[in-house]
Structure 1
Amino acid sequence: MQKYIIGKKIGMTQLFDENGKFIPVTVIEAGPCIVTQKKTIENDGYEAVQIGYGEVTDKHLNKPMKGHFAKADVAAKKFLREFRADNCGEKNVGDLIKADTFAAGDKVDVCGISKGKGYQGVIKRFGAHSLKDTHGTGPVHRHAGSNGANSTPSRVYKGKILPGHMGVEQVTVQNLEVVKVDAENNLIALKGAIPGPKGGIVTITDSVKA
């Protein structure tokens, strides 16, 4: 049975196991989420479940979204995510998904939007090597160097590393361990770090590599 939930990154802290070993963890407020739509092969060509998370007032919704929630007869949610799973038929519109979906010891994948880092050069952005700092290299020792050949091919190949905007992109961290689940407060503690700032929205799913 595939498991999934939407959550909000609270921040990092530390826990200790039964042997007193220090474990760095990220705390996520996971759910409660509600099933807002079921997609079927007959109607949509594939099976999936759409779930919602976070409270929002009607004045912040447009007409299509108001109709979407009214049709499902569920409370409006701020964030919607869709999950394809083998057990979609087991979920019904209006069902709640809570943090206790997961248990300590589970392996999960976490997907979120990474922090923005602004305009960066190729060394920070792609890990490129710098030029020599001595012997007349001048003020260009952190530049990208040559962009390509001369008359052949007379263009820059696709994929050439160049400076530019870094971050604010979808990142998935795989195979993290669930250290602790607080079902009463809808909290999940995952070992290690996850993408995004505090307050960022993330999705937690079963690990594909576990």
Structure 2
Amino acid sequence: MTQENENLNKENQQEKPAEVSADFKFLIAEKIGMTQVYTEDGELKGVTVLKAGPCRVAYVRTKDNDGYNAVCLGFGHRKEKNLSSAMKGVFAKNNLKPLKHLKEVRVEKTEGFAAGQTVSLAGRFNDGDWIDVQGITIGKGFAGGMKRHNFRGQPASHGASDRERAPGGLASRRSLGRVLPGQRMAGHLGVERVTVHKMKIIKVLPEKNLVLVNGGIPGKEGSIVYMLKTVKKVPKPVVAQPKSKTKKEAAKAPAKKK
């Protein structure tokens, strides 16, 4: 038996990496695109398809060593030649393939987390769950005040031919003599991190690592987004109750025999 075959047998005999508890509600996902699906009630929904996980735990931060508790997740793989020397050492120390997208997540306690563990979709998110999705918006280049900040523009009458899309005064005043920081003006639009709260999961396909989320999600196809349990108040499920008889229906009902 050659050395290569022995190495393959050893790899096959190794146990699968442990799974992080399903109570940890966070995943790195890739936006695939949008489509339409029918719900069980026959309602047509526009959904975003996400490829969620599986992720790997790259390393764990502890309060004693680093000053805070956090878990770093990795999604996807990259070539080792594109890594810095520091990251090569991190992955070599934990016997991991180089991970492409890394994200540190703050946690209260680090017990139960270890480098090399997997964070999969199965059992972590289910149909009907409410989540928050964080992504980077599509860049739209340099935009004016009306497109960027929804300004209404100036009157398009009385001979003002070049003021129709102008932002107006900058509120600098004579005594101030300068524009205050943060004044909304024309500039670069997009490429901002945006969090969309309280999005409903329509369908989870754990065997394909796919999640169908109701509505649109920031970012273009192929961009990386973060899925986590919503921090907002979840609406209570509506339970259909039997209709009570109206006064007219009660009057028409036959009288009970004595």
TM-score range, shorter chain: over 0.9
**Preserved CA contact (<8 Å) 2:33 2:50:** yes
**Structure with greater contact order relative to length (CA < 8 Å, sep ≥ 6):** 1
Alignment of 1:19-168 (within 5 A): 19-86=41-108, 88-100=110-122, 101-168=124-191
2:210 matches 1:187:
yes
Per-residue displacement from partner, 1:62-111 (whole Å, max 9, x unpaired)?
Answer: 21111111122211111000111335422221111112221111111111
Aligned residues: 210
Q: Aligned residue for 1:174?
A: 197
Q: Which stretch of structure 1 is more off in the superposition, 110-119 or 54-63?
A: 54-63
Cα displacement (A) at 1:149 = 3.9
TM-score after normalising by structure 2: 0.78
Which structure: greater strand fraction? 1
**Preserved CA contact (<8 Å) 2:153 2:168:** no
**Preserved CA contact (<8 Å) 1:13 1:26:** yes
Q: Aligned residue for 2:25?
A: 3
Distance in 1 of aligned mates of 2:162 and 2:177: 27
**Preserved CA contact (<8 Å) 2:145 2:184:** yes
Cα distance change of structure 1 residues 82 and 149 upon mapping to structure 2, 3 Å threshold: closer
Mind listing any 5+ residue stretches in structure 1 that lack a counterpart?
none
SS of the residue 1:67 aligns to = helix
Cα displacement (A) at 1:146 = 1.6
User: Residue type of the partner of 1:46?
Assistant: Y
Q: Which stretch of structure 1 is more off in the superposition, 83-92 or 50-59?
A: 83-92
CA RMSD of aligned residues (A): 1.3
Distance in 2 of aligned mates of 1:106 and 1:113: 23
Distance in 1 of aligned mates of 2:159 and 2:24: 59
**Preserved CA contact (<8 Å) 1:2 1:87:** no
**Preserved CA contact (<8 Å) 2:35 2:48:** yes
User: Residue type of the partner of 2:174?
Assistant: S
2:215 matches 1:201:
no
SS of the residue 2:65 aligns to = helix
SS of the residue 1:139 aligns to = coil
Distance in 1 of aligned mates of 2:37 and 2:173: 58
User: Residue type of the partner of 1:27?
Assistant: V
User: Residue type of the partner of 1:126?
Assistant: H
**Preserved CA contact (<8 Å) 2:73 2:103:** yes
Cα displacement (A) at 1:151 = 2.4
Greater Cα radius of gyration, structure 1 or 2? 2
Per-residue displacement from partner, 1:114-170 (whole Å, max 9, x unpaired)?
Answer: 000100001110111111111111112101112224421111112211100010010
Distance in 2 of aligned mates of 1:188 and 1:87: 28
**Preserved CA contact (<8 Å) 2:155 2:163:** no
Distance in 2 of aligned mates of 1:176 and 1:87: 27
